[in-house]
Amino acid sequence: MDAVKGLGELERTVMEVCWAREEASLAPATARDVSRALAGERDLAHTTVMTVLDRLAKKGFLDRERDGRAWRYRPVASREGYVTELMLGALDETGDRDAALAHFVRSVSQDEIDVIRQALAEVTLEPPA
């Protein structure tokens, strides 16, 4: 279990390096770039970094292209893009209502909003029981 958790954290760290490079308009990262960027906070074996990059590419989070003898990895989507994707699913706006997630409150229509605002005002004004 710990190993799995460790790997997930590693993937996240590596993705963050790739995103940061993209934001800084640097060339897509090689495994060596990632190792170097992480050298300060954690020392990882070069092979570990390559494994993580490979896994992320297989999962479809990184695109890779040959550059001489090395691969260069580029994020498929931005961090914000993924957050938006998750939120769209969460807000039930993907148009495809499915049972993958349980929603706290479904979106309500414009004509219902006023009734809800009024109820909220009433409830919050009531002295606590």
Partner 1 sequence: MTGSALLALVALATVFGAHGLSRARWTWRTPRIAIGLWQALGLGWGVATIGTLLGVALLPYQRGIASGLPSMVSDNAARLDAVHMAALLAAVALTFVLLTMLATAVFRVVRARRRHRALLALVARGDSAAPDALVLDHPGAAAYCVPGVRSSKVVVSAGTLALLDDKELAAVLAHERAHARERHDLVLLPFYSLRQVFPQIRLVGRCLDAVELLIEMAADDRARRHRPAKELATALLRFAAARPGPAPSGTLGVAAADDIPVLARVNRLLRPEPQPRRIRFAATLAIPVLVAVPALLWALPL
In the set 40, 99, 125, 127, which binds partner 1 (CB under 8 A)? 99
- Angstrom distance (rounded) from CA 125 to CA 129: 12
Are 60 and 11 contacting, i.e. CB atoms less than 8 angstroms apart? no
| Stretch 14-33 residues interacting with partner 1 (CB under 8 A) | 15
Identify which range of 23-31, 34-42, 63-71, 100-108 contacts partner 1 by CB under 8 A.
Answer: 100-108
Q: Give the pair of three-digit tokens for residue 30.
A: 């090689």
Strand, helix or coil for residue 78:
coil
CB of 68 or CB of 127, closer to partner 1: 127
In the set 43, 98, 125, 127, which binds partner 1 (CB under 8 A)? 98
| Stretch 27-66 residues interacting with partner 1 (CB under 8 A) | 59, 61
Q: Is the dihedral of CA 37, 16, 10, 53 positive or negative?
A: negative
Nearest to 56 by CA among 19, 97, 93: 19
Residues near partner 1 (CB under 8 A) are 8, 11-12, 15, 59, 61, 79, 82-87, 89-91, 93, 98-113, 115-117, 119-120, 123-124, 128-129
